[in-house]
Amino acid sequence: MHSRFTNSRRTEPHVASRRTTDRAVSPVIGGILMFGLVIAMVSLIQVTGVPVWNAQEEFHHSQAVQAEFQTLDQAVEDVAATGSSRSVVLDTGMDYPTRPFLFNPPPVVGQLQVDSAGDIGITNAAVVHNTNYWSKTATADPTFATSTVRYTPGYRQYQGAPETYYEHGVLYNRFADGTVLPASESNLVDGREISLVVLDGQLSTASSAPTTVELHGLSGPAQTTTITSRDSSGVVLTLPTAFDEATWLDLLGDQVDGYDPANPTSYDPLVDEEPRAYIADLDVTGGVLTLTMEPGSYDLRLAKVGVGNGYTDEPPLYVTAVDGDGSAVVAGNAGTFVAQVRDQFNNPTPGVSLTFSVDGTGTFVKSDGTVIPSSSVDVTTDANGLARVYFRPNGDVLLTAKGDLDDSGSITAREKAMFNVEFVTPVGDGYSEYEGSLNPVGSKTVILQQAERLSTSNTNHGTCTANTFCEIRLNFENLDTFDRNIEQIRVNFYSANSISNSEGDFPDYAALVAADGTVLYSPLTVGGSFVAVDSPGGANPIVLSDSSTTAIYLKFYYVDNTNKAFELEKGDFFALTIVYDNSRTGTYLVGIVDDARK
C-alpha cells in the first residue's frame, strides 16, 4: 500500500525568471514617464513661456519701428530742403525666432497708411517785396491740405502697443486709451523762423515684410520767404493736431512768451517776459493748434512732399521780381533783371517760359553785350526758377516779365512782374560809377568809409542798457565839393550771422541816434518804407559836409520792446539806402566786422 505521500511533489514557480522580466519592464515604464514629463514641460513652456518671449520680441520690434520713423522724419526734411526724391524702408512686420520643439504663430502683419489730416492755414500774413501773392490787400488767406503717416502693428501678445504717427515733423505714439505721447521734438517755430512741410499722397499697405516708402519733392527746394503781418496784430498759424495744449506747450515751450517749463500751470499769454520768444499765444481747441505770433517779420519755409503715390505736383502760380526792380542804369550800360516763377509754397518752378517786354526805348542784349534785335525776349526758367535778361535803356522804362502759367489763355496780375528802371545821365567827372549802385565809389559820391560796432566801453556809445554791443557808427565821407543833405533813409534788410547768433533772429527796426544816444528818427522799420529827414533849418537835419567825414549812429531794436536793444554780432550785415538832396541815392551794404577802439 502506497503512502498517500508517495510521489506527491509540489511544483514551485521559477522565481529567477520572474525577477529578470521585471527588470526589463522598468526602463520602458521609466522612459514613458520621462517622455510624458518632457511633453508636459514643453506644453507648459508653449503655453506660458512662448507668449512672454514673443511679447518681448514684439516690444523690441515696436521700438525699432519708432527709430525707423525717426529716419523717415529726417528723409522728409531732406526731400523738402532739396526738392529731390528718397526712399525709406520701414520694417512693418516681423517673424518670431525659431525655437526647437515649440510652435510660433504666423508672422506679424503691420499696416502703414497715409491719412488726411486737414488744412494748415496762415492768416494775416503778407509776403515782403511781392505784391502779386499774399499781398497786404489780399482778401483770401492760403490754406494747404496735409496728411499724417500712421503705422498700426498687428501684435498678438504686446497688447499695449501704440500706433505710431508722423505729424508736422513730430513723431508720436497713440495708445489704446487715447493717450498721445510725443517721441521727438518740434522745429515748427525757432525764433523768427517758421518751417512747415505738407505731406500729400496715398499709401495703404499691410505686410509682414519690410515696406519701402517712396518720398518725392513736390515743392522744393524750400525757399526762405520773409512774411510780415498785414496789420498791428501778428501772423496766425492754424494746424490740425492730435495733441492737447499742454503737449504743444511742452514741445514749443521755449518759443512761447509767458510760458515757464518749470511751472507750466502758470502760462499766461498776456505776459511778455522773453524778447526772443515770438509766439504770443498758443491754443488748442477742437483738434486745431492756433499759434498767434508777435507783430513783425518772420522767415517762412514751406515745402510739399509726396508719400507713396497718388500725389499732386505743384504747378507754377506767380511771377515775382527778385533783382533789378527800382534800379538805376547809367547811360550806355545794361542792367540785369531777374524774375522768378514760384508755386503756392513760394518755391521755384523750373522750365517755365516767360516773355520780357519793355514800355519805353532801349535794347535787350546778351551777357556779352551782343544786341538782341527784338523788342521782347523769351526766357525759360532755370533749375532755380529764375529767368534773367540784360537791358540797355535809352530813358526811364518799365520792363515786364509775364507768362500764362495756368494755360488759361490770359495773363493775370500774379502772372507778371514789373521792373521800374531809372535812366541816369552822368553829370561831369566822377559819376561813372553811379551812386544808385551798391556801395558807390565814384569820385564825387558819398562813400561808406568805415562801420564800427560800439559797446558800453566806448565813449559816445549812447545808451546800451541791455546789451554789450548795441550800436553801430557809420563813417560817411563826402567826396564832392558841395555839402550833401540827407532827405530820406531806409534800412532795406538785416541778416544775422547764423553761427554766432544762436537764436537766428534779427531786429525789427532801427533808430537813428545822436552821438550821445538821443533818438533823432525812429522807427526805421527793417524792410519798411523810407523815413523822411529834416531839411537844414529843421529840428534834426543831417548834413554831410563837403570833402569831410560825418558819423551816423544806428541802434537796432526788437518790436515794441524799446528797452531791449538788439545785440550786434560780428558777421551780421545789413543794407541802408540814403536819398540825398540832389535826388541821388546811395545803397550801402554794411558788414559788422570791426569794433571801435575808443
* Centroid of chain to Cα 258: 24
Same domain? 378 vs 486: no
Say which residue, 460 or 560, is predicted with more confidence. Answer: 560
Same domain? 182 vs 292: yes
Identify the CATH number of the domain in which residue 331 sits. 2.60.40.10
pLDDT for the residue numbered 11: 53
Same domain? 69 vs 147: yes
Q: What value, to the nearest 5°, has the Cα angle with vertex 552 and ends 440 and 481? A: 50
In a domain, 488, yes or no: yes
DSSP 8-state secondary structure symbol assigned to residue 565: B
Same domain? 170 vs 249: yes
The contacts of residue 190 (CB under 8 Å, 6+ apart) are 255, 504
Same domain? 297 vs 324: no
pLDDT for the residue numbered 314: 94
Same domain? 574 vs 556: yes
State the SS3 of 186-249: CCCEECCEEEEEEEECECEEEECCCEEEEEEEEECCCCEEEEEECCCCCCEEEEECCCCHHHHH
Query: What average pLDDT score do residues 495-513 get?
Result: 68
Query: What average pLDDT score do residues 103-118 get?
Result: 90
The arrangement of strands across the sheet holding 469-478 comes to 519-525, 509-513, 548-557, 469-478, 446-455, 594-595
Residue ranges making up the domain that contains 243: 60-97+105-308
Same domain? 289 vs 353: no
Using a pLDDT cut of 70, give the percent of the chain over it.
Answer: 81
Same domain? 337 vs 216: no
Q: Is the pLDDT of residue 592 over 60?
A: yes
In a domain, 574, yes or no: yes
Q: Is the pLDDT of residue 460 over 60?
A: no
Same domain? 191 vs 303: yes
In a domain, 31, yes or no: no
Same domain? 70 vs 193: yes
In a domain, 459, yes or no: yes
pLDDT category, 436, cuts 50, 70, 90? low
pLDDT for the residue numbered 390: 94
The pLDDT tens digits of the residues spanning 362-409 come to: 999 998 888 999 999 999 999 999 999 999 999 999 999 999 999 999
In a domain, 114, yes or no: yes
In a domain, 533, yes or no: yes
Of 290, 308, 326, which residue sits at a domain end?
A: 308
Say which residue, 51 or 191, is predicted with more confidence. Answer: 191
pLDDT for the residue numbered 462: 42
For the chain, give the mean pLDDT. 82
pLDDT for the residue numbered 428: 45
Of 373, 390, 424, which residue sits at a domain end?
A: 424
The pLDDT tens digits of the residues spanning 121-177 come to: 999 998 877 667 777 666 678 899 999 999 999 998 888 889 999 999 999 999 988
Say which residue, 391 or 505, is predicted with more confidence. Answer: 391
Q: What is the DSSP string of 101-125?
A: T---PPPB-EEEEEEEEEEEEEESE
Return the closest-CA partner of residue 345 out of 314, 386, 381: 314
In a domain, 119, yes or no: yes
In a domain, 52, yes or no: no
Long-range contact pairs involving 70-79 (C-beta distance under 8 Å, separation at least 24) = 70/171, 70/184, 72/149, 72/166, 72/213, 73/166, 73/169, 73/171, 73/184, 75/215, 76/166, 76/169, 76/197, 76/199, 76/215, 76/305, 77/169, 77/197, 79/215, 79/216, 79/217, 79/220, 79/303, 79/305
pLDDT category, 594, cuts 50, 70, 90? low
Query: What average pLDDT score do residues 515-541 get?
Result: 84
The contacts of residue 100 (CB under 8 Å, 6+ apart) are none
Query: What average pLDDT score do residues 538-550 get?
Result: 87
Cell of 143: 490754406
pLDDT for the residue numbered 20: 54
Given a contact cutoff of 8 angstroms between Cβ atoms, the answer to whether 152 and 110 are in contact is: yes
How many structural domains are present in the chain? Answer: 3
Same domain? 73 vs 208: yes
pLDDT category, 113, cuts 50, 70, 90? very high
Of 255, 284, 308, which residue sits at a domain end?
A: 308
The contacts of residue 271 (CB under 8 Å, 6+ apart) are 257, 258
Given a contact cutoff of 8 angstroms between Cβ atoms, the answer to whether 586 and 436 are in contact is: yes
Return the closest-CA partner of residue 162 out of 152, 150, 148: 152
Same domain? 412 vs 524: no
pLDDT for the residue numbered 582: 64
